[in-house]
């Protein structure tokens, strides 16, 4: 199976993003994560093309909205860790924990453009159609073999099974912002960002997208 055409840099030796990268409001971290690379220890890699921000006590849609529970404990810990949860009673989903300004912030990884390890992703997903490998949070987690045991992984350590790196591809200057998907509370906020025109984005905005977004530089 051929790699994604934007993968010319995929052999660059990357380092995990530093913890300081995540130590900010999820509204700032989320668009900055676009075009970063999710790396698995077994060689699977994918470029992040769609994300959503969740903002703790300031966001009724966040799992952390009502405070810390055994389920959400990792969201109240240090930034740069992985929060894993079960979605729709069917799939796992993964989030990068952020630093604040208050506890409970995280960024949901919604879609990836596969770069390497596509055969392993295809076996995990039961399909070799590139668009269906990691388009949507459930598919993404399944493609990378995520389960409950990955909750709390340190994304800032190369020795972790999963981490996020930078291969030199900058975030978009003007990422598309639109309302988040699949939530019933605080659904009006334009806290979902994606790379414009990337075919692996899970769903296009149903109406004209909002392009206002925090600085990504």
How confident is the model over 120-148, as pLDDT tens digits? 999 999 999 999 999 999 999 999 999 99
Average pLDDT over residues 73-80: 97
Residue 56 backbone dihedrals phi, psi, to 5 degrees: 60, -135
Sequential DSSP letters for 30-76 = HHHHTT-EEEETTS-EEEEEEEEEEEGGG-TTSTTTT---TTTGGGG
* pLDDT tens for each residue of 97-116: 999 888 999 999 999 999 99
CB-based contact 33:107 (threshold 8 Å): yes
Which residues, 6+ apart, have CB-to-CB distance to 95 below 8 Å? 54, 75, 82, 83, 84, 85, 106, 107, 108, 109
Instruction: Write the pLDDT tens digit of every residue in 152-186.
Output: 999 999 999 999 999 999 999 999 999 999 899 99
Nearest residue to 125 via CA among 92, 85, 83: 92
Contact 4, 114 (CB under 8 A): yes
DSSP H helical segments within 75-196, as ranges? 118-125, 137-143
The pLDDT-based confidence of 215 (bands split at 50, 70, 90) is very low
Of 187 and 10, the structure prediction assigns the larger pLDDT to: 187
Q: Report how far residue 50's alpha carbon sits from residue 137's, in angstroms, rounded to the nearest whole number.
A: 9
| Amino acid 24: pLDDT | 97
Q: What is the reported pTM? A: 0.90
Tokens found for residue 212: 């206002």
Q: How far apart are CA 26 and CA 58, in angstroms?
A: 11
Q: Report how far residue 153's alpha carbon sits from residue 83's, in angstroms, rounded to the nearest whole number.
A: 8
């Amino acid at each position: 199976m051929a790699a994604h055409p934007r993968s010319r840099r995929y052999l660059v030796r990357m380092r995990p993003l530093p913890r300081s990268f995540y130590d900010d409001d999820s509204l700032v971290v989320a668009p900055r994560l676009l075009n970063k690379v999710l790396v698995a220890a077994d060689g699977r890699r994918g470029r992040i093309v769609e994300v959503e921000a969740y903002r703790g006590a300031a966001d009724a849609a966040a799992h952390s909205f009502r405070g810390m529970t055994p389920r959400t404990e990792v969201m109240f810990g240090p930034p740069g860790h992985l929060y894993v949860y079960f979605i729709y009673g069917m799939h796992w989903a993964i989030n990068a924990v952020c630093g604040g300004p208050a506890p409970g912030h995280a960024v949901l990884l919604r879609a990836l453009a596969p770069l390497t390890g596509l055969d392993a992703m295809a076996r995990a997903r039961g399909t070799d159609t590139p668009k269906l490998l990691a388009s949507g949070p459930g598919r993404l987690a399944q493609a990378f073999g995520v389960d409950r045991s990955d909750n709390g992984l340190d994304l800032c350590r190369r020795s972790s099974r999963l981490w996020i790196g930078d291969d030199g591809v900058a975030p978009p200057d003007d990422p598309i912002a639109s309302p988040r998907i699949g939530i019933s509370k605080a659904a009006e906020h334009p806290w979902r960002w994606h790379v414009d025109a990337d075919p692996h984005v899970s769903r296009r905005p149903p109406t004209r997208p909002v392009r206002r977004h925090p600085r990504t530089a």
